[in-house]
Amino acid sequence: MNKEIENSIALVLKGTPYLEDSLIVSLAFSDGVHSCYVPHVFKLKSPLKPLLFAGSIINISYEKKEDFLLAKQATIIFDSSMLYGDNKKIAFLYYLIELSDKLFNYRSDYPLVEVRMILESMKKGADVLSLSLLLTGLFYKKLGIKMITDRCIRCSSTHNIVSYSIKDGGFLCADCSSEKFPVNALYIFKFSFMDIDEKSLIKVVPNLEGKKVLKELADHLANYFEYGPFNTLTQLINLC
């Protein structure tokens, strides 16, 4: 009886050695993260070499098993190795991989199309910090954590917005907040939750405030899902 072979697009996350020449690789598909057994991948003529490159997007043929996928063949769609010569881009890839693997490992829908757009923009030279903010905001939205960035979260006023509360879910006006944040911080917070498109992908946020907002958003995301701080965040912020 012939076994059914399926084909899908996936983002390569991390691999764990298995036996002498094989790997167990985490792959982010549009329906979430799955474990994939990649046999004999280190052999010279293996058709599964694309699964060695974390951060690459591949087209993979596989057979479904009870608890994992069995890789059969793979071809590269987006080659992450082209980013490996830049420390900032490597740090971004590590951040992307850590968040993807931790946050979407329960078969949550994964924004593969948008992540590919972000990676393609990085390849073209887009600002790494700005893309990191867009990625983090994208994950908030995909995981159902809503942030209100068009009005005050308490009174719904669209005027005199002066601060935001990530814990409470968005912007606050002067009547509802005793704090007043820098204008740049408000802009960057709003920017983080913009749609991923040609316009947002080429924007460049102010560096100092951008790092601050990124840390706030990432730390809240980690706490929301009861993780410790993301291990890759500090290096990413330091390099941006």
| Sequence ranges of the domains in the chain | 5-78, 86-239
Cα 63 to its chain centre, rounded Å, is 26
What per-residue confidence (pLDDT) applies to 65? 86
For 107-130, b/e burial (b = at least 16 CB within 10 A) is eeebbbebbbbbbebbeeebbbbb
What region does 40 belong to: left with phi over 0, alpha with psi -120 to 50, or beta?
A: left
Contact between residue 37 and residue 71 where contact means Cβ atoms under 8 Å apart: yes
What per-residue confidence (pLDDT) applies to 107? 66
> Could you give phi then psi for residue 199, rounded to 5 degrees?
-70, -50
For 56-71, b/e burial (b = at least 16 CB within 10 A) is bbbebbbeeeeeebeb
Q: Is the pTM of this model over 0.85?
A: yes
DSSP summary character for residue 208: H
Tens place of pLDDT per residue across the chain (240 aa): 457 889 999 999 999 998 889 999 999 999 999 999 999 999 988 999 999 999 999 999 999 988 889 999 999 999 999 899 899 999 999 999 999 999 998 667 999 999 999 999 999 999 999 999 999 999 999 999 999 999 999 999 999 999 999 999 999 999 999 999 999 999 999 999 999 999 999 999 999 999 999 999 999 999 999 988 999 999 999 999
Contact between residue 238 and residue 211 where contact means Cβ atoms under 8 Å apart: no
Cα 93 to its chain centre, rounded Å, is 8
Could you tell me the two tokens for 41?
């991948």
Question: What angle do the packed helices 112-123 and 87-103 form, to 10 degrees?
Answer: 170
Contact between residue 27 and residue 13 where contact means Cβ atoms under 8 Å apart: yes
Could you tell me the two tokens for 86?
């830049």
Distance CA 67, CA 72 (A): 16
How many CB atoms neighbour CB 150 within 10 A? 11
Distance CA 220, CA 136 (A): 11
Distance CA 115, CA 121 (A): 10
Please tell me the class of the 5-78 domain.
mainly beta
CA dihedral for 135, 138, 140, 143, sign (positive or negative): negative
